[in-house]
Amino acid sequence: MFNLIIGQESGGINEKLEKLSLTEKGLNNLVQINVSQISIYDFVTALSNDHQLNVSVDKALSERIINNFHDVRVKDVFSFLVRKYDLDVQILGKIIVIEKKKKQVKKAQKKKIDVSYKENEKLLSLNLNKDSLFAVAKLITNKTKENIVLSSKVKNEVVSAFVMDKEIDFALDMIAKSNDLLVTRNNEGYYFITKKPKESKPIVKKRGRVVNLQRVTDNLLIELNSDGTVNVLANEVSIIDVIYNLSKEMKKSYFLYSNLNGGSKTSFSIKNASFTDVLQHILKGTKFTFKKEGDYFLIGNKTTEGMRITKVIKMKNRTIENVLKSIPQRIVSELEVKEFIELNALVVTGHFSAILELRDFLNQIDKSVPVVQIEVIIFQYEKSHDVQTGLKAGFDKTQQTSNLASAFPTTDVHLNSNNINKIIDAFNGFGIVNLGKVPSSFFMQLKALENNAIIDLESTPKVATLNGHEASLKIGATDYYFEQTNQILNGNNNNNDNILQSGKWKPTEANLSLKIKPFVSQDESVTLEVRVEKSSFTGRVGETAPPSKSTQQFESFIRVKNGDMILLGGLDEAEKSNSGTGTPFLSRIPIIKWFFSGRKKKKAKKKLHMFIKPTVFYQ
Shortest CA distance to 312 belongs to which of 280, 276, 349?
Answer: 349
What pTM value is reported for the model?
0.44
- For the chain, what's the residue count? 619
Domains 114-195 and 308-365 are alike in CATH topology:
no
Most confident listed range (349-363, 423-437, 473-487) = 349-363
SS3 string, 369-400, reads: CCEEEEEEEEEEEEEECCCCCCCCCCCCCCCC
Most confident listed range (67-71, 93-97, 244-248, 457-461) = 244-248
Find out whether 526 and 565 touch, Cβ atoms under 8 Å.
no
Q: Is the pLDDT of residue 454 over 70?
A: no
Spatial distance between the Cα atoms of 302 and 431, rounded to a whole number of angstroms: 61
Shortest CA distance to 553 belongs to which of 508, 610, 509?
Answer: 610
How far, in whole angstroms, is CA 451 from its chain's centroid?
66
How far, in whole angstroms, is CA 28 from its chain's centroid?
102
Q: Is the pLDDT of residue 91 over 80?
A: yes
- Give 308-365's CATH code, choosing from 3.30.420.40, 3.40.50.620, 3.10.20.30, 3.30.1370.120: 3.30.1370.120
Which of the two residues, 569 and 357, has the higher pLDDT score?
357
Averaged over 590-607, what is the pLDDT?
65
Strand partners, 486: 501
pLDDT at site 333: 86
Fold of 220-305: Phage tail protein beta-alpha-beta fold (3.55.50)
Which of the two residues, 179 and 608, has the higher pLDDT score?
179
Spatial distance between the Cα atoms of 181 and 241, rounded to a whole number of angstroms: 13
pLDDT at site 461: 81
Three-state secondary structure call for residue 579 = strand
pLDDT at site 508: 85
Domain locations along the chain: 13-100, 114-195, 220-305, 308-365, 401-440, 456-489+498-617
pLDDT at site 600: 63
pLDDT at site 416: 46
Q: Is the pLDDT of residue 190 over 60?
A: yes
Spatial distance between the Cα atoms of 399 and 415, rounded to a whole number of angstroms: 15
Q: Is the pLDDT of residue 501 over 80?
A: no
Q: Is the pLDDT of residue 209 over 80?
A: no
Find out whether 124 and 168 touch, Cβ atoms under 8 Å.
yes
- Give tens-digit pLDDT for 250-296: 888 888 887 776 557 888 899 999 998 898 888 887 888 888 888 88
Averaged over 449-477, what is the pLDDT?
77
Q: Which residues contact 459 (CB under 8 A, 6 or more apart)?
A: 376, 377, 378, 473, 475, 512, 514
Q: Is the pLDDT of residue 323 over 60?
A: yes
Averaged over 482-502, what is the pLDDT?
70
Q: Where are the beta strands (DSSP E) in 239-280?
A: 253-256, 265-273
Spatial distance between the Cα atoms of 416 and 393, rounded to a whole number of angstroms: 10
Find out whether 265 and 291 touch, Cβ atoms under 8 Å.
no
> What is the architecture, at CATH level 2, of domain 13-100?
3-Layer(bab) Sandwich (3.55)
Q: Is the pLDDT of residue 205 over 90?
A: no
Interstrand relation of 55-57 and 30-39 (parallel, antiparallel or unpaired): unpaired
Fold of 114-195: Phage tail protein beta-alpha-beta fold (3.55.50)
Tell me the HSE value of 586 on the side-chain side, using a 13 A CA sphere.
9
Lowest mean pLDDT among 45-54, 331-340, 561-570, 604-613: 604-613
Which of the two residues, 584 and 47, has the higher pLDDT score?
47
